[in-house]
A and B are shown apart, each in its own frame.
Chain A
Amino acid sequence: MEQDARDPDDPARLAEERAAQVEREAAEIRGVNVPIETEPPTTFRP
């Protein structure tokens, strides 16, 4: 495992890590397919 030598609270390191987290979470949720043929109507209610 690659070690990051920077302080764990280093702002630059945290900026990279949190940006990577956003990307990772995006990939996870994009990875779940919702078939549009059977998708129910939107949940928005005025």
Chain B
Amino acid sequence: MTAFAGVAELGEALRAKRVSAVELAHETLDRLEKNGPRYNAVASLLRARALREAAAADRALSRGDAGSPLLGIPYGAKDLLAARGAPTTWGAAPYRKQVFRADATAVAKLRRAGAVLAAKLAMVELAGGGGYRYASASLQGPGRNPWDTSRWTGGSSSGSGAAVAAGLVPFALGSETSGSIGTPSAYCGVTGLRPTYGLVSRHGAMALSWTLDKIGPLARSASDCAVVLAAIAGPDAHDATTSGKRFRPLDAEAARERVESARIGYAGEEIVELASPAARDALLRGVEELRRIVPRFVDARLPEDLPYAAMAGTVIGAESATIFAELIEGDRLDEMPDARQKAGFRAALRITARDYLQAMRLRSVLIARTREIFRDCDVILSAGRTATATPIEQALDAATLPPGASAARDAAAVPARRRGNVGLIPAGNLAGLPAIFFPCGLGSDGLPVGLQLVGPPFSEPLLVAIVEAYQRETEHHRARPASA
């Protein structure tokens, strides 16, 4: 009854006493237990905690204390977020017995909002640090896509994407360093929101890159993402990088006005020229659907002279290798299965201070240049991913390489010209910009495709308002995989 219901729908059912929070928790836990293994989505089921939190929510509901829209709503959290007393494995064998004594701030804020933590959700090991080759780089096994279990969920928030797409939970927390909310959202057909750097505390979250990590929601709609973001955003004395800002969605009238007058920055070559044959038509249809809702499109392009992938690789490599230096230099790294990932971690230890600082210096240039772009447009539109979910056994660095070629040798052969806004994921992350990823239909292979909107810092209210308007006019976010 409650599978695939959104946050608002479940909240209404709870307040109308059509279901109790404990009943809802039982249903959710049973779904996670029964169906989670099909997708390798669950790292640990938190039955006792969930039933305790649900009972507290029922007591609050019976007192008429239903102020929080998340009261009694179950969810899952990526296993890089600490939950008191529960295993927090970071998806990696060397940390399989790790237990923290306190909740991560995002989890604690959701607890205070009355949400019910039902499960820790699977993830790519160490959030993909080092650069993995195979979807199997996860303690829980490869993330299997609910739309086709022979396809990958995307990573590194693999369990978060799968659990929402399969209707196991109404929302989940994920994290993004560069692509880890966006990719599972696109591949699994759910809505994901990457907040502005510093809007959400990372206290209690595994650090992969101090200057890039963000915590954000994956859910069934932009409205649900907004409800979750409102609960987890804001200052935190335990995380000095929090901005102090909060998130509040626009009211209906302001949202209508802002959406009608918004200028969508769009290039499009990255879809027309680079999208896979299976994804291209659905992506272009999605762009045209959005154009009917927000008609003012202007040409907008990322700077062509900045090497985003190299910048992100250097920053993430240097920071993650420093964070995990003890693991990398010890014996336990070999407990992780992905040979490319381990080699990447080891190589990253040799990134020099000069190169790290040059990459950081170029980020300042990028931030200044993105400010200029946002003088002429309010948001940038692009594909969430330009292809549908990859086969689960496929080498993830193989799709861009000719057969028999090696990643190292052939990167130099990639054409220098950047097509459209193809680097928007690394560029947006390097600049700390917020993004919302939302489904726009199915590709010719029956798998989800999605778009992304990126805005200036702290533009989440506009990003949410645009996608809410899109989702009022379309049904793509309501599509369900047949197998779920």
Contact = CB atoms under 8 A, between A and B. Distances in A.
B371 to A, nearest CB: 12
B339 A29 contact: no
Q: Which of B131, B351, B358 has the most CB of A within 10 A?
A: B358
B311 interface: yes
Interface string A1-19: 1111000111101111111
Contact of A1 (B309, B361, B409): B409
Contacts of B347: 15, 18-19, 21-22
Interface in A1-46: 1-4, 8-11, 13-22, 24-26, 28-32, 34, 39-40, 43
Contacts of B359: 29
Contact of A26 (B352, B368, B395, B402): B352
A32 B364 contact: no
A9 B339 CA distance: 6
B406 interface: yes
A8 B406 contact: yes
Contacts of A30: 355, 358
B396 to A, nearest CB: 12
A20 B407 CA distance: 10
Contact of B364 (A11, A13, A14, A43): A43
B99 interface: no
Nearest to A22: B347
Nearest to A25: B310
A17 to B, nearest CB: 4
B306 A32 contact: yes
A21 B131 CA distance: 11
A30 B306 CA distance: 11
12 contacts: A8-B395, A10-B339, A21-B344, A22-B348, A22-B350, A25-B307, A32-B305, A32-B362, A32-B365, A39-B361, A40-B364, A43-B363
Interface of B: 131, 133, 305-307, 309-311, 313-314, 317, 339-340, 342-344, 346-348, 350-352, 355, 358-365, 368, 395, 402, 404-412
Interface of A: 1-4, 8-11, 13-22, 24-26, 28-32, 34, 39-40, 43
B404 A11 contact: no
A18 B311 CA distance: 15
B351 A22 contact: yes
Contact of A9 (B133, B311, B352): B133
B411 A24 contact: yes
Contact of A11 (B309, B339, B410): B339
Interface of A is mostly: helix
Highest count of chain B CB atoms <10 Å: which of A1, A21, A22, A30: A22
- Central interface residue in A2, A17, A31, by most chain B CB within 10 Å: A17
B309 to A, nearest CB: 8
B355 A18 contact: no
A8 B339 CA distance: 10
B282 to A, nearest CB: 32
A10 B358 CA distance: 32
Given A16-B408, A18-B347, A21-B313, 19 more contacts: A8-B395, A11-B342, A11-B343, A14-B339, A17-B343, A18-B348, A18-B408, A20-B409, A22-B347, A22-B348, A24-B310, A25-B310, A26-B314, A26-B351, A29-B307, A29-B311, A29-B355, A32-B358, A40-B368
A25 B343 contact: no
Given A21-B411, A22-B351, A15 B365 contact: no
A23 to B, nearest CB: 9
Contacts of B406: 4, 8, 13, 17
B317 A1 contact: no
A2 to B, nearest CB: 7
A19 to B, nearest CB: 5
B351 A9 contact: no
A16 B365 CA distance: 31
